[in-house]
Structure 1
Amino acid sequence: MKVAVIGCTHAGTAAIVNTAKLYPDAEITVYERNDNISFLSCGIALYVGGMVKNPEGLFYSSPQQLADLGVKTKMLHEVISVDTNGKTLQARNLQTGEQFSDTFDKLIVTTGSWPIVPKFEGIDLDNILLSKNYNHSNTIIEKAQNAQNIVVVGAGYIGVELVEAFQLNGKSVTLIDAESRVLSKYLDAEYTDKIERSMKEHGIKLALGEKVTKFEGQDGKVTRVITDHGQYEADLVIMCIGFRPNTELLKGQVDMLDNGAIIVDEYMRTSKPDVYAAGDSCAIIYNPTGKHSYIPLATNAVRMGTLIARNLLAPTVKYMGTQGTSGIKIFEDNIAATGLTETAAKDAGLDAEAVFITDSYRPEFMPTHEPVMLKVVYEKNTRRILGAQIMSKVDLTQSINTMSVCIQNGMKMEELAFVDFFFQPHYNKPWNFLNSAGLQALPKVPEMEGTLV
């Protein structure tokens, strides 16, 4: 069996390693256009901020490790075309310019995603950078050394983490986003209000509800970011608007969403036989809605890549879908979320309600008993759990993994109320705060008719 793999980050590495182990006689060839593989891009802010001193820990594989498994890895090679019907591909050696063709029995597409970069006036000025791969992170660190006024465009996870890292390094930081709230895709206002307040207290300037219109510069370098509401001095700009899937190679050959994300089934199969896909290039089933959605997360990628190997010869293990579970630490606050926010649920046309509680995470007689904020979103008629968000100074983020399982299994609020959680005063209360959320949303009991005698 001849297997060709295009791209080698999270999903690609998982697919390659597992394919090599499961099918030792397979001939596996990997095409990677970068000079490194398997970079953990979600660690960029930690590296930029200096918390991670040695970037080697941000790589979880290497060409040599793949070679030890019998894999042929072609670094700095770009696949320029694919014929899924004829099972051939054309590739180019980026060092020599040589072009050649190859054949495959099975094709694994793990081409990932790339930052969205609108064609703003001045976008080509120096010191306007992206934040996606290892080379980007090194450039950011290098340029930030001589920059004082740094503007980050985009208030998603990467943007928020970067402004914190820059602030901790003593920089003057501005965060711009067209949305009116930070992290608006992941959290409702009860949480983002507190996060924004914390960021302002740490000296970060927020320019929310503002759209970038252009960049101005001097001597070829950016000096100012112009929005529809104001202007901001900038020695360095990091673009973190979002990502789009890298799927041009298969355009018109497999089914895709409107944004180009490849649609795969529960076995990671595309609409074309013997062509599989995983990771940020794909759309997968989002359990809260039951629809295919584009959710580029490393956790989704490694699961999908692993499943490709399991299902390469025949459907064997199904993917259970995703809740888009994620977490972030912003200064002293530990935050996590899964599934739909209340806002997103209503935007999706669901009749959603929510329970919001603030409670001490363990008994008040303990020396410390920090508060925890928990919100659980559920469908009104079915009472099915749709999403949850948590925030505390104490790290209680693992509770969101529990909520993810609840959503995945279609649990209802009354079931959450009576799930068996342990009690120990060091850790929680007799009613775990997850139970408490379920209790607050118990259905009404029938009213008695007449009067008891």
Structure 2
Amino acid sequence: MKVAVIGCTHAGTAAIVNTAKLYPDAEITVYERNDNISFLSCGIALYVGGVVEDAQGLFYSSPQQLAELGVTTKMLHEVTSVDTDAKTLTARNLNTGEVLTDTFDKLIVTTGSWPIIPKFEGIELNNIVLSKNFNHSNTIIEKAKTARNIVVVGAGYIGVELVEAFQMNGKQVTLIDAEDRILSKYLDPEFTARTEQTLTEQGIQLALNEKVVRFEGENGNVTTVVTDRGEHTADMVILCIGFRPQTELLAGQVDMLPNGAIIVDKYMQTSKKDVYAAGDSCAIYYNPTGQHAYIPLATNAVRMGTLVARNLVQPTTEYMGTQGTSGIKIYEDNIAATGMTETAARLAGLDVEASTIEDNYRPEFMPTHEKVTLKVVYEKTSRRIVGAQIMSHADLTQSINTISVFIQAGMTVDQLAFVDFFFQPHYNKPWNYLNSVGLQALPPVAVKEPVNA
């Protein structure tokens, strides 16, 4: 069996390693246009902020390790075309310019995503950079050495983590976003308001509800970010606006969402036989809505890549779908979310209610007993949980994994009220905060007056 793999980050590495182990006789060739593989881009802010000092720790595989598994890795090779019917591909060696053609029995497309880069006037100025791969992280660190005023465009996870890292390194930082609040895809307003207050207290300037119009500069270097509401001084700009799937190679050959994300079935196969896809190039099955959605996350990628290998020869292991579960630490706040926010659920047309509690997570007689804020979003009629968010100075983020399982299993907020959790004063109260948020959501019991005989 001849297997060709295009792209080697999270999904690609998982697919390759597992394919090599499951099918020792397979001839596996990997095409990667970068000069490195398996970089954990979610660690960029940690690297930039100095929390991670050795960047090599952000790589979890290498061409040498793949070679030990019998895999041929062609680094700095860009695949320029794919014919899924003829089962051929063409690639160009970026060092020599040499063009080669290869054949395959099975194709695994793990081409990932790329940052969205709007065509702003002045985008070509120096010191406007992206934040996606290892080379980007090195560029950010090098340019930040001489930058005083740093502007980050995009208030998602990456943007928020970067402004924190820069502020802690003594920079003047501005965070711009066209939305009226940060992290709006992940958290409801009561959570983002607290986080915005924290960032502001740390001296970070929030420029929300502002759209970038253009960049201005002097001597070829950026100096100003102009928005529809003002101007912001900048020695350096980082674009963190979002990501789009890199799937142009298969355009018109397999089914995709309107944004180009490849649609796969529960066995990771595309609409074309023997062509599989995984990771940020794909749409995933989103359990809260029961529809395909584009949610680029490393956790989705490694699961999907592993499933590609298990299903490469015959359908074996079904994909269970995702809740888009994620977490972030911002200064002292530990935050996690799963499924839909209340805002997103209503926009999607779901009739939902929410239960929110704020309580000390463990007994008050303990030396410390940090407050926890927990919100669970559920359908009004079915009572099915569709999302949850948690925030605390204590690290209680693993609780969101529990609610993720509830969503995946289609369980209700009423079941959450009475599910069995242990009690130990070091960790919680007799009623675990997960139980408490479910108890608060319980409907009243209808009591009928006895009929006199």
In the superposition, the TM-score normalised over structure 1's length comes to 0.99
Whether the aligned pair in 2 keeps the contact of 1:265 and 1:284 (CA below 8 Å) is no
Give the 3-state SS of the residue equivalent to 1:108 in structure 2.
strand
> Distance in 2 between the 1:416 and 1:30 partners?
45
Give the 3-state SS of the residue equivalent to 2:174 in structure 1.
strand
In the alignment, does 2:66 pair up with 1:57?
A: no
In the alignment, does 2:433 pair up with 1:422?
A: no
Residue matched to 1:28: 28
Residue matched to 1:199: 199
Q: 1:390-438 CA distances to partner (integer Å, 9 max, x unpaired)?
A: 0000000000000100100000011000110000001000000000011
Residue matched to 1:305: 305
> Distance in 2 between the 1:83 and 1:44 partners?
35
Residue 113 of structure 1 and its aligned partner are, at CA, apart by 0.2
In the alignment, does 2:331 pair up with 1:331?
A: yes
In the alignment, does 2:395 pair up with 1:390?
A: no
> Distance in 2 between the 1:359 and 1:112 partners?
41
Whether the aligned pair in 2 keeps the contact of 1:345 and 1:352 (CA below 8 Å) is yes
Instruction: Give runs of aligned pairs for residues 335-374 of structure 1, distance below 5 A.
Output: 335-374=335-374
In the alignment, does 2:106 pair up with 1:112?
A: no
Give the 3-state SS of the residue equivalent to 1:223 in structure 2.
strand
> Distance in 2 between the 1:28 and 1:367 partners?
57
Residue matched to 2:14: 14
Give the 3-state SS of the residue equivalent to 1:283 in structure 2.
strand
Residue matched to 1:406: 406
Give the 3-state SS of the residue equivalent to 2:139 in structure 1.
helix
Residue 367 of structure 1 and its aligned partner are, at CA, apart by 1.2
> Distance in 2 between the 1:199 and 1:273 partners?
49
Residue matched to 2:251: 251
Residue 449 of structure 1 and its aligned partner are, at CA, apart by 4.0
Instruction: Give runs of aligned pairs for residues 113-128 of structure 1, distance below 5 A.
Output: 113-128=113-128
Q: 1:199-252 CA distances to partner (integer Å, 9 max, x unpaired)?
A: 000000000000000000000000000000000000000000000000000000
In the alignment, does 2:72 pair up with 1:80?
A: no
Residue matched to 2:179: 179
Residue matched to 2:214: 214
Residue matched to 2:155: 155
Residue matched to 1:274: 274
Residue 442 of structure 1 and its aligned partner are, at CA, apart by 1.2
Whether the aligned pair in 2 keeps the contact of 1:414 and 1:438 (CA below 8 Å) is yes
Give the 3-state SS of the residue equivalent to 1:152 in structure 2.
strand
> Distance in 2 between the 1:333 and 1:450 partners?
52
Residue 441 of structure 1 and its aligned partner are, at CA, apart by 1.0
Q: What letter corresponds to residue 198 of structure 2 in structure 1?
A: S
In the superposition, the TM-score normalised over structure 2's length comes to 0.99
| Gaps in structure 1 of 5+ consecutive residues | none
> Distance in 2 between the 1:207 and 1:321 partners?
36
Residue 445 of structure 1 and its aligned partner are, at CA, apart by 2.1
> Distance in 1 between the 2:297 and 2:357 partners?
28
Whether the aligned pair in 2 keeps the contact of 1:263 and 1:271 (CA below 8 Å) is yes
> Distance in 2 between the 1:268 and 1:31 partners?
20
Q: What letter corresponds to residue 49 of structure 2 in structure 1?
A: G
Give the 3-state SS of the residue equivalent to 1:438 in structure 2.
helix
Residue matched to 2:69: 69
Residue 446 of structure 1 and its aligned partner are, at CA, apart by 2.4
Give the 3-state SS of the residue equivalent to 1:421 in structure 2.
coil
Give the CA RMSD over aligned residues: 0.8
Whether the aligned pair in 2 keeps the contact of 1:8 and 1:110 (CA below 8 Å) is yes
| Gaps in structure 2 of 5+ consecutive residues | none
Q: What letter corresponds to residue 14 of structure 1 in structure 2?
A: A
Give the 3-state SS of the residue equivalent to 1:82 in structure 2.
strand
Q: 1:280-318 CA distances to partner (integer Å, 9 max, x unpaired)?
A: 000010000000000000000000000000000011000
Whether the aligned pair in 2 keeps the contact of 1:327 and 1:335 (CA below 8 Å) is yes
Structure 1 residue ranges, 4+ long, deviating more than 6 angstroms after superposition: none
Residue 450 of structure 1 and its aligned partner are, at CA, apart by 4.7
Residue matched to 2:92: 92
Give the 3-state SS of the residue equivalent to 2:216 in structure 1.
strand
Taking structure 1 as reference, are residues 452 and 172 closer, same or farther at Cα in structure 2, changes over 3 Å only? farther
